[in-house]
Structure 1
């Protein structure tokens, strides 16, 4: 029996011992690989967001600083849109500066058709003094005979100017005919919402008014008598009545 045990005793360098050790090593490697590269280990460990909630449980889209949400960063377009008062002020300032330069150039050349002054330093109300009219007209001769130096006009501008016309009236002298109505209102389609265009300027309006006085055979009233004085309140009421009449029957221009 002792001989048989010695015969079948395994030696340390035999092939059977190598196979046993290889199996042990393979088992260890498989255990290490299963613990390090198991797919389930990655899916079972959710990442945490800065607020303490996990992305696996709360499927939320968190905006970054590089990609902000449009609702959070998009500016309100209505706040960037200029108001009517801003548009009016810009337009009137531009026109007033251009008229002042034009008047200055004409004065240097010895010719002053009209001047413009701001009422109470406000761009929204102007006083216009018209000095020059057609020298062949009866209105011009009346000015010379009565020593009337100029015709004073007053212009007020609505909030939606230049998309709406200014209100222009005669302050002095007291004019008859020439499309001048009670209170100093002026019956001219150009000064209505139907005849007005935003491209028109006050210089063009003044020139058109001068032509309408001559065309309408305006005269300066010598004896006022019981005639009503020109006033803004009366002129506004008269102009509203004129607009109603022409809205009903239309505007007729002479050929």
Structure 2
């Protein structure tokens, strides 16, 4: 983690990192989303303008046959490989920028630890929720210093959302479901925007916990049971299908 943070100063998020390479288009579905989730800055696109080939070059090209770009367009493997490399670079730059911004937070709202030093697998500690909430009171009474979550970032992040789940403590209500799955539309492809930052998502999650009357489970036998990723993935998949059919109700940040 320390090594990665030392490298952060050498890496900058390009403006195009918030554009979807699929024709720079990012689809957003229905549902109420907060303007505070949007990132700063605009997006630009640019290109490389090469000179037109002369007669000799055209003749040589005709003798040599189609070049790599033509072969790739005809179904070769170069275009997918180049696209994968581009997505990896965009994801890495974006996440390094996110780590840098989180490290600069003055209120210590959240902190991050990389899982097995992987830039694409984070354990995030949520240190604060509304201090007037019953959940904050639970945290004080049980000496719970933070709520621990895991975020894994897909290959095409930030154009697709991370998978996010609660690890500990075991929570009840607060839009936290079986396995630690989280019922939030913005964590779905339909509700996600590439402009959303990890910090903003975590603040929305904290607001949802309070709005949904989240509590730390204290039931004998159940409170010690660990959340399961497999169960969380199955639960999340099921709830997405349900809400796509009947609609979403997500509390706005202003209500948190």
Please indicate, yes or no, whether the TM-score normalized by the shorter chain is above 0.5: yes
Match of 1:201 among 193, 197, 202: 197
CA separation in 2, counterparts of 1:88 and 1:138?
Answer: 37
Q: Out of 222-231 and 112-121, give the one that drifted further.
A: 222-231
Matching residue of 2:235: 238
CA separation in 1, counterparts of 2:103 and 2:86?
Answer: 26
Q: CA deviation at 1:179?
A: 0.1
Query: Which structure has the greater CA radius of gyration?
Result: 1
Matching residue of 1:101: 104
RMSD of aligned C-alpha atoms? 2.5
Q: CA deviation at 1:246?
A: 0.8
Deviations 1:75-125 (A, max 9, x none): 7394765532222122112211221233xxx2xxxx421111111111111
CA separation in 2, counterparts of 1:214 and 1:181?
Answer: 15
Check 1:205–1:145 CA distance in 2 against 1; reply closer, same or farther (3 A cut).
same
Q: CA deviation at 1:204?
A: 0.7
Is 2:59 aligned against 1:92?
no
What secondary structure is seen at the aligned counterpart in 2 of 1:152? strand
Match of 1:220 among 216, 231, 240: 216
Check 1:132–1:252 CA distance in 2 against 1; reply closer, same or farther (3 A cut).
closer
Match of 1:180 among 176, 179, 189: 176
Is 2:125 aligned against 1:129?
yes
CA separation in 2, counterparts of 1:68 and 1:144?
Answer: 78
Matching residue of 1:83: 86
Q: Which has the higher contact order (CA 8 A, sep 6+)?
A: 2
TM-score by length of 1: 0.66
Is the CA contact 2:110–2:127 (under 8 Å) kept in the aligned structure 1?
yes
TM-score by length of 2: 0.66
Matching residue of 1:143: 139
Q: CA deviation at 1:70?
A: 5.8
Check 1:254–1:201 CA distance in 2 against 1; reply closer, same or farther (3 A cut).
closer
CA separation in 2, counterparts of 1:254 and 1:217?
Answer: 12
Structure 2: unaligned runs, 5 residues or longer: 1-53, 73-78
CA separation in 1, counterparts of 2:205 and 2:90?
Answer: 25
How many corresponding residue pairs? 186
- Superposed structure 1 runs of 4+ greater than 6 Å apart: 71-75
CA separation in 2, counterparts of 1:188 and 1:80?
Answer: 33
Is the CA contact 2:102–2:110 (under 8 Å) kept in the aligned structure 1?
no
CA separation in 2, counterparts of 1:235 and 1:224?
Answer: 22
CA separation in 2, counterparts of 1:131 and 1:173?
Answer: 12
Check 1:96–1:70 CA distance in 2 against 1; reply closer, same or farther (3 A cut).
farther
Q: CA deviation at 1:152?
A: 0.3
